[in-house]
Structure 1
Amino acid sequence: MLDRDGVINADSDAYIKSVDEWHPLPGSLEAMARLSRAGWVIAVCTNQSGVGRGLFTDATVNAIHAELQRQLAPLGGHVDGFFYCPHPPEADCSCRKPKPGLLIQAAAALSFPLQGVPFVGDSRRDMDAARAAGATPVLVRTGKGARTIADGAGLPDWIENDLMAVVTRLLNDD
């Protein structure tokens, strides 16, 4: 399971509001394709409160995800499922990370157990969601990862430079 903004693509404090603003991080698509080719199921679990804030629509989120799939395909990769929370923080929903709802939805929809499954993120809320779901939290230094490490609270045992480093470790451990 992967967070999106800051793990797969460049993040922005002003939100990723269009396909034109979506830019994959170096090596992230290649890393995802390696997982796909190795038979791993890939679920993207992402907070997208810009929908609830009126900054963009569900259709925009779906278009960004379609673009991600389009760019993955020639590399031999694909995402098995996209799961996102459209709610702003004040909605106090069960699907907004750090709550585990998105991860639970992904596991149920794609039929995999959560226990020990890696969830790769770049923020403390990603790490907290992984722990709450029983998944293994994995932090990357991309996106907000360096800031998360500097804050020092709630860090996982497993930290890597980027998604490719995570994938290399996962595939070498198989």
Structure 2
Amino acid sequence: MSQAAVFLDRDGTLNVDYGYVGEISRFQFIEGVIEACLQLQQLDYLLVLVTNQSGIARGYFSEAQFHTLNDWMTQVLAQHGVRLAATYYCPHHPEGTGVYRQHCHCRKPQPGLLLTAQQQLTVDLARSYLVGDTLADLQAATAAGIGTKVLVRSGHRITPQAVAEANWVLDTLAALPDRIRSG
């Protein structure tokens, strides 16, 4: 049986986006997101992280550093009772270096991360949400068939195109549980 999920972008959605956040010392949760994640989990949604990490391709930090930060973030969330079902990330970028310099199917706006999660976690995409701060996040959700696309103002400057692609526009992820409950 498939379950609904809330797919979460990372930088600008869960944490303050200082640009290429690859170290724990530069990671800061956006106010209210941990509590929102706990409430979403209590509403019986799987929480799935889907994040472009072109800082790897650009040489700003390594995959090992990404995993160290992700493990730390996951532990902090767990200390508050929040469990991420999985993390999916894209280390590629066309302007990157070495093996990471490529066009791929996982970098948002492509739907690869979402479709992989759907297959591995048996997610009902039509009943799911994606929360992100860029047009690319929302385009990936559209391409994957995600039911509700949520644009948050807590990250990048939102564009009219992103607003047009979104079903809902919220200040931060912290507002999502109430918005879901209100229909």
Q: Deviations over 1:74-132 (max 9, x none)?
A: 32111110000000144210000001111111111111122241100000101111111
Q: Find the counterpart in structure 2 of residue 2 from structure 1.
A: 8
Cα separation, 1, equivalents of 2:108 and 2:116? 12
Q: CA deviation at 1:140?
A: 0.6
Q: Find the counterpart in structure 2 of residue 139 from structure 1.
A: 151
Q: Find the counterpart in structure 2 of residue 99 from structure 1.
A: 110
1:74-113 paired onto structure 2 within 5 Å: 74-90=79-95, 91-113=102-124
Is contact 1:87–1:96 with CA below 8 Å preserved after alignment? yes
Q: Which amino acid aligns with 1:41?
A: L
Could you tell me the percent identity over the aligned residues?
Answer: 37
Q: CA deviation at 1:6?
A: 0.3
Cα separation, 2, equivalents of 1:8 and 1:64? 13
Q: CA deviation at 1:38?
A: 3.1
Question: Structure 2: which 5+ residue stretches go unaligned?
Answer: 1-6, 96-101
Moved over 4 A (4+): none
Which residue of 132, 136, 157 maps to 1:121?
132
TM-score, structure 1 length as denominator? 0.90
Which secondary structure state, in structure 1, belongs to the residue aligned with residue 49 of structure 2?
A: strand
Q: Find the counterpart in structure 1 of residue 161 from structure 2.
A: 153
Cα separation, 2, equivalents of 1:143 and 1:124? 12
Q: CA deviation at 1:30?
A: 1.2
Which secondary structure state, in structure 2, belongs to the residue aligned with residue 44 of structure 1?
A: strand
Q: Find the counterpart in structure 2 of residue 38 from structure 1.
A: 43
Count of aligned residue pairs for this structure pair: 168
Q: Which amino acid aligns with 2:37?
A: M
Q: CA deviation at 1:172?
A: 4.3
Is contact 2:134–2:162 with CA below 8 Å preserved after alignment? no
Which secondary structure state, in structure 2, belongs to the residue aligned with residue 95 of structure 1?
A: coil
Which residue of 19, 24, 29 maps to 1:19?
24
Question: Structure 1: which 5+ residue stretches go unaligned?
Answer: none
Q: CA deviation at 1:37?
A: 3.0
Q: Which amino acid aligns with 1:118?
A: Y
